[in-house]
Amino acid sequence: MSVGYSEEHIKTLEWREHIRLRPGMYIGKLGDGSSQDDGVYVLLKEVMDNSLDEYMMGYGKKIDVSINGKEVRVRDYGRGIPLGKVLDAVSKMNTGAKYDSKAFKKSVGLNGVGVKAVNALSSKFVIRSIREGQVKVIEFEHGRTVKDYPLENTAEENGVEVIFEPDEDMFGNYFFISEYVDTMLKNNVYLNSGLVINFNGNKFISRNGLVDLLNENMNKEGLYPIVHLTGEDIEIAFTHGLQYGEDYYSFVNGQNTTQGGAHLIAFREAIVKTIRDFYKKDYDPSDIRSSIIAAISIKVEEPIFESQTKTKLGSKDMGPEGPSVRNFISEFIKKQLDDFLHRNPETARTILKKIQDSEKERKAISSIQKLARDRAKKVSLHNKKLRDCRIHYNSNDSNKLDSTLFITEGDSASGSITKSRNVETQAVFSLRGKPLNCFGLTKKIVYENEEFNLLQSALNIEDGIENLRYNNVVVATDADVDGMHIRLLLLTFFLQFFPDLVRKGHVFILQTPLFRVRNKKETRYCYSPEEKAKAIAALGPNPEMTRFKGLGEISPDEFKHFIGKDMRLEPVRMKKNDSVNGFLEFFMGKNTPDRQDFIIDNLRIEEDMVEEEKPLN
């Protein structure tokens, strides 16, 4: 059948309409706030970027931030937007001062887009610009101007205040997790020593830059004092720990490039080359970088990011006449790190021992790696343990942030999810029985244990999470004792061998309903006894009530409601003071009496958790 194509098919959208129709182009995914890269945090970041650029240019020493329910306020004390251009600055695309490198050098916001996206995606947006004793205020709803106030005199300090509420029509019933906001704002002060950020009564300030950042994110001291190297437009800090994997924090012009890019690649290469040259031995890169925790921050004029969300640096040049990013970082590390190691022989000896220990462990398991890889490939292809999707996190597709792997228990649960999933972005990995309790074991067990080896292969994390195949790793087990146990065993696996998966916010628990309450006109799914009670009251007398005893009991037609746009994910989060070893020792070690006391002290008996199914009238 042919489809007509003529003048009426050509449409021109307003700026706000285009942003709301294609939000992924501007803020990545939408989300509900459960993940660190959800859109509500990107909106805050876009507003903060403008305030940070003012500070970086030498204007304003503090930024006040508050989140009250769903209302966000950001007030800086910079120069303020020129009062005659306030409307244009927040409602006309490709409008801004950052096209002029004299006004803003090495800034994050370059395209004149960010704050307009915030405006278009907010049910309420208020901009206040205070400049030279006058204030200009404009109010918007969904990107449309609703009130443009005349100029008024004021005694307030210069600066800009933005007040916004993300639109529930776009983000659903979203929420803010304060720990995610804390992390974002703390990173801002680590990268801007001397800046004060006040957030909901807490004061964030840093004097030691990236050293403070690493100390904030390490739950125990490194093997040696943090190496801190600084130069013009570059700052580096790193140490080694005892954990598996590599843990990096990378920034360009104050922007947290969570997906790395040219600068992080150059850093990892330069560390290897410099250490090889220093010790005059051709060590394997994985042995040099194993257990490293590092941060790198560079400043670049006119950086080229791979998307508007600026999570990956794609530029190769520092500027029209500057050296390449790779050469700039390589030359800096070669000189500064080599000098440091010569001046600090104790640290140099500690690094050498760490490399040698990593080499011994790697060689101990090398004999089984090839066999394990071959087995993973064969089982994945022929036995269908992994039902893959088409779009992956390590791709360049615009939907890669939605890429998800559900880890299920048994064939019935995996079958329901497989039949109801989005094959573009959602994959399913089916466990066979309970995984091994790997607490206290070495990484050799990952290759010797078939389930762990296959899961590692499915995630593509054998050499670290840089090539992680799925952005969201979702544990989808039954809400019963066995399901909880499997969750603990999987979390033990991740925390023991791939802790950066958890630290970087990739691991979630799928929340599925415990009850279905319905009458002839309406069906409600309830995730707690409280929700069930409300549903029964709302649906009138004698509705049918079903208690789901396992994921396999939920039909594919129903399951699609729980893994679609309204999917409830509980993030697995770690705080600085959370000790991985202490956590695993308590829950997965041999201290059975302590765990029994804990269970007794925290036992909570739910009423009506198991009821017979009541039929429709």
Domain ranges of the chain: 15-204, 210-361, 384-512+548-578, 517-545+581-617
Distance, in Å, from the CA atom of 444 to the CA atom of 455, rounded to the nearest integer, reads: 14
CATH of 384-512+548-578, one of 3.40.50.300, 3.30.300.30, 3.40.50.670, 3.40.50.2300: 3.40.50.670
Name the E strands within 410-471: 426-431
**Percent share of the chain, pLDDT over 90:** 38
pLDDT at site 432: 83
Which of 120, 115, 125 shows the shortest CA–CA distance to 148?
Answer: 125
pLDDT at site 320: 39
Residue 335 has pLDDT above 60, yes or no: yes
User: Among 125-134, 190-199, 205-214, 439-448, which is the least confidently predicted range?
Assistant: 439-448
Q: Is the dihedral of CA 384, 386, 387, 390 positive or negative?
A: negative
pLDDT at site 583: 60
The dihedrals phi and psi of 513, each to the nearest 5 degrees, come to -70, 145
Distance, in Å, from the CA atom of 36 to the CA atom of 174, rounded to the nearest integer, reads: 13
Distance, in Å, from the CA atom of 50 to the CA atom of 552, rounded to the nearest integer, reads: 49
| Average pLDDT of the residues in 195-220 | 91
pLDDT by residue (tens digit) across 396-431? 887 888 899 999 987 777 888 889 999 999 999 998
3-state secondary structure of 227: strand
Which class would CATH give 210-361? alpha beta
pLDDT by residue (tens digit) across 444-502? 888 788 888 889 889 998 877 888 999 999 999 887 788 888 988 999 899 888 888 88
Instruction: Sort strands 144-148 and 159-166 into parallel, antiparallel or unpaired.
Output: unpaired
The answer to whether the CB of 330 falls within 8 A of the CB of 269 is yes
3-state secondary structure of 610: coil
384-512+548-578: same fold as 15-204?
no
Which of 511, 504, 425 shows the shortest CA–CA distance to 469?
Answer: 425
3-state secondary structure of 258: coil
| Average pLDDT of the residues in 386-391 | 91
pLDDT at site 53: 87
Q: pTM surpassing 0.75? A: no
Which of 533, 410, 523, 408 shows the shortest CA–CA distance to 476?
Answer: 408
| Average pLDDT of the residues in 441-446 | 80
Instruction: Sort strands 144-148 and 134-141 into parallel, antiparallel or unpaired.
Output: antiparallel
Q: What CATH number labels 15-204?
A: 3.30.565.10
Instruction: Sort strands 234-240 and 227-231 into parallel, antiparallel or unpaired.
Output: antiparallel
**Exposure class string for 324-336: b at 16+ Cβ within 10 A, else e:** ebbebbbebbeeb
The answer to whether the CB of 432 falls within 8 A of the CB of 59 is no
Q: Tell me the pLDDT band of 285, cut-offs 50, 70 and 90.
A: very high
Residue 579 has pLDDT above 80, yes or no: no
The answer to whether the CB of 27 falls within 8 A of the CB of 117 is yes
Distance, in Å, from the CA atom of 453 to the CA atom of 82, rounded to the nearest integer, reads: 59
Q: Tell me the pLDDT band of 261, cut-offs 50, 70 and 90.
A: confident
Residue showing tokens 């020792």: 585
Q: Tell me the pLDDT band of 168, cut-offs 50, 70 and 90.
A: very high
3-state secondary structure of 2: coil
